[in-house]
Structure 1
Amino acid sequence: MIVKPYSDKAFFAIGVSYEKADAETRGKFTFFPESVPDFVREAKEIGIDNFFIVSTCNRSEFYGFSENPETMMELYCKHSKGTMEEMKEVVSIKKNDEAIHHLFQVAAGLKSQILGDFEIISQIKIWFKRFKKQGSSGAFLERLINTAIQISKKIKTETTLSNGAASVSFAAVHYIMATEPAVSEKNILLYGIGKIGRNTCTNLIKHTQNDHITLINRSREKAELMTEKYDVLVKDHTELIDQLKSTDILIVATGAESPTITEEMIPYDKEMTIIDLSVPENVMHTLGSRENIQLINVDGLSKMVDDTIGSRKDAIPAAQEIIETCKTEFDEWLKTREYVPVIQSFKERLEFLQAFETKNLKKKNPQINGKETLIAEKLVQNLTNQFASYLLENRENAGETIAMMEEIFRLKQINE
């Protein structure tokens, strides 16, 4: 059950994820930050409320209130490279209570391609902040996201769901360790220093014992920050082609809309292992057809952490219990929101009566000052609080109580 802030709309979660779509298809529905302002403006124009999008390498999901899911899907497709027909083939649509529960499971890491991967919660916070800045959120969404963050924190500290090294960034290093002999002697180039790139760099330093890792990023300053923490070499973006000639292992985490590594950039006879951590894929997939190149993407990496995932599965019941507890608290808060309109109308009626009576009293007694007015305002607030408390403590009689107050104070007439 869900109490809806908008009586004519439902809360939907429209998503394309690894569960139904491969990396290439997910890439078509990747949403980029620069599209947020126009997207928010258009969404508001067609009546979508309290909404945001989260888009990662494993999932792109659109949460919000709408009259129907098709409206949300059409708008999303307009701002992606995927078509409506393609989306219908792989889309997951969840409504109201199911949509809320889904978001909580995503935030908990239960829906991650690598079970317990908590990188998703930081992405949810980042994406929500982008949309909030453009004015797309309200009290409902604020509370929903805060609850999701609370769930993530509690599961991370109170369960073993995130124990062990299992994430996309670690999986990349695990793959290298398992397939590359003498990895400490290899020339490793990490291209792209976003969040996943930084995590991958940390894991490379920690596990490979390699002291000649090279970083390249479009913004050299961002890459230079890694040298403050680790002994790595930074090269300019203009040197990428030259660096590729001597690279043994290439890790790409550029997160661009189109390939950043193409066939002509790598000599045909060059032997190389390439790991593409980007969605959409940023390495031209035809490179994988070369006999001397080993190319793997995020979907391939996710299959390499089965041992760690096995131990994490034992923590699922505890994580689900935390979700249910927080979900119950969220539902209780939603129920209180049901009474907000009538409580607000009640308060406004009292304020009107207070202002009217104060004005009449001042005509009869000009000596009345701000002290009396302050007392009257405090009385209005106290009466409003008592009304609200009564409704919450006597929900079974709330309907009758509201009807009586509406009749006594003519609240419906005021709203009209």
Structure 2
Amino acid sequence: MRDYHISKHNSFYAVGLSYKKADAEVRGKFSLDVPAIDHILGKAKEIGIDGLLAISTCNRTELYGFAQHPYQLIKLLCDETNGTVEEFQEVAYVYKNHDAISHMFKVGTGLDSQILGDFEIISQIKQGFYRSKKQEMANPFLERLCNSVIQASKRIKNETELSSGATSVAFASVKYILDNVDDISNKNILLFGTGKIGRNTCENLVKHSNNSHITLINRTREKAEDIAGKFQLTVKDYGDLQTEIRKTDILVVATGAQLPTVSKALIYPKKPLLILDLSVPKNVSDDVKELDNVTLVHLDELSQITDETLAKRKEYVPKAEAIIEKVKKDFLKWLETRKFAPVINALKDKLNMMKAEEIDFQTKKIEGFDQIQAEIISDRIIQKITKQFANHLKSNEVDTDDSLELIQKVFQLELHSK
């Protein structure tokens, strides 16, 4: 497979880490919030990187961009996070050119998700692209690539059942509670944090447990009240967190904080308590494990819960891969065309110049020379010649770079566009 370059000096790279090799603690060190992403994009612009996209979720942090060497991107990430280059290299992956393109398709369509078919990631790619565009770090290549990945994701959603059935972190957490807690409808449940996972968990809890003893706490009370209103749940102030934790039987932590928000000091040590930490970085401090009355389960363990839904989803993987191949092929065709368009345009200009000179010469030489007919015939011949060259360059059997160089030499072309 040929490498696809946008410029002669830079290659397209995907560098990152995910749940596959990095545990929650390591992923936490490399997680990026919106200000950090904006800062990375700004720094990349300063050092002359042309085009960069950053995504960071609880399962992965990745940079997609153009560089002379992937270390430029790795350094940008490590400088902005709490992780070191050494730690990153232990768990990281680096993909180049065609492999980087394939990787983004796999990620964006849920085939690389911790829970197969989880399409949450596509909204992260959309948001990442929006941030890049805002910072003027989204070139036509990245725009076309992101749009192609979004298109593949939509088609897989509509044409396969890869994302059918309730299989998400929120569902897995509720499944864990239902499987491990007796008499759930009489237990007190406290949900701390009302981000996306928190909201989905809340909805699933209400749906599957018939439990009206659910209390919500969020740093911003209004957000908790919005959700509580939908399900007639109780809302308490952030200042009541310790009191409520001591009253509850099940604590679900889904905050987006960069440091732990629940520590051993907040917990009453004489009452059984199940804690589910659905946050990356971890939002429940490790010292909680020292308490005998506490069972602490983290997102990574929950994500390993597999059921018939996942087994069923696997059947649709080949169909999803076929859709990806089709959309990716169209993208690569566009990319190749974009690569040789300047040469074809310059060739057309050169042939038109030859045509104009020749018609001018013949008009002066031949009496009654039909300039209009000569223009029509010449234009058709130029069209056919340039089409022949374009078809030659599109062929998989030829080395495009060598051919482009030869055409430029033979016709002594001057390229004006980038």
TM-score normalized with structure 2 length: 0.84
Does the aligned pair in 2 maintain the 1:107–1:120 contact within 8 Å? Answer: yes
Q: Which residues of 2 match residues 81-230 of structure 1 at below 5 A?
A: 81-230=82-231
The CA deviation string for residues 72-95 of structure 1, in whole angstroms up to 9 with x for no partner, is 111110111111111111111111
Aligned to 1:76: 77
Deviation of 1:159 (Å): 1.3
Counterpart residue number, 2:11:
10
**Following superposition of structure 1 onto structure 2, how do residues 24-39 of structure 1 map, counting pairs within 5 Å?**
24-39=25-40
Give yes or no for the alignment of 1:22 onto 2:23: yes
What does 1:12-411 correspond to in 2, within 5 Å? 12-342=13-343, 392-393=390-391, 395=393, 411=414
Structure 2 gap ranges (5+): 354-379
- Report Cα offsets for 1:85-128 as digits up to 9, x if no partner: 11111111111111111111111111111111111212222222
SS in 1 for 2:302: helix
> Shift in Å at residue 231 of structure 1?
1.8
Aligned mates of 2:171, 2:109 — CA distance in 1: 19
SS for the counterpart of 1:229 is: helix
User: What is the CA deviation profile of residues 4-58 of structure 1, one whole-angstrom value per residue up to 9, with x for unaligned ones?
Assistant: 2221111111111111111111111111111123211211222322111111111
Tell me, yes or no, if the aligned pair for 1:342 and 1:402 is still in contact at 8 Å.
no
User: 3-state SS of the aligned residue for 1:214?
Assistant: strand
Counterpart CA distance in 1 for 2:303 and 2:49 is 35
Query: How many matched pairs?
Result: 387
Q: 1:344 to 1:206 in 2, by over 3 A?
A: farther
SS at match of 2:230: coil
Alignment partner, residue 379 of structure 1 = none
Residues of 2 paired with 1:340 and 1:41: CA distance?
31
Superposition TM-score, scaled by structure 1 size: 0.85
Partner-residue secondary structure (3-state), 1:339 = helix
In 2 relative to 1, CA 202–286 (structure 1 residues): closer, same or farther, beyond 3 Å? same
1:379-399 per-residue CA deviation (whole Å, 9 max, x = no partner) reads: xxx999999867544536998
Aligned pair in 2 of structure 1 residues 115, 289: CA closer, same or farther (>3 Å)? farther
Letter in 2 for 1:199: N
* Maintained 8 Å contact 2:191/2:254: yes
| Cross-structure match for 1:370 | none
Counterpart AA for 2:209: T
Question: Within 1, Cα distance between the matches of 2:384 and 2:290?
Answer: 72
User: CA distance change for structure 1 residues 148 and 67 in 2, over 3 Å: closer, same or farther?
Assistant: same
**Distance change (3 Å), C-alpha of 1:212 and 1:96:** same
Task: Name the amino acid aligned to 1:216.
Answer: I
Is the 1:346–1:409 contact (alpha carbons within 8 Å) kept by the matching residues of 2?
Answer: no
In 2, Cα distance between the equivalents of 1:246 and 1:22?
31
Query: Alpha carbons of 1:182 and 1:44: their partners in 2 closer, same or farther (altered >3 Å)?
Result: same
1:132 to partner: Cα distance: 2.2
Quick check: 2:342–2:417 contact (8 Å CA) kept in 1?
no
CA RMSD of aligned residues (A): 2.9
Letter in 2 for 1:25: V
**Aligned residue in 1 for 2:367:** none
In structure 1, the partner of 2:362 is: none
CA distance 1:184–1:384, change in 2 (3 Å): farther
DSSP 3-state at the match of 2:190: strand
**Which structure 1 residue ranges, 5 or more long, are not aligned?**
353-381
**How far apart, CA to CA, are the structure 1 residues paired with 2:149 and 2:80?**
26
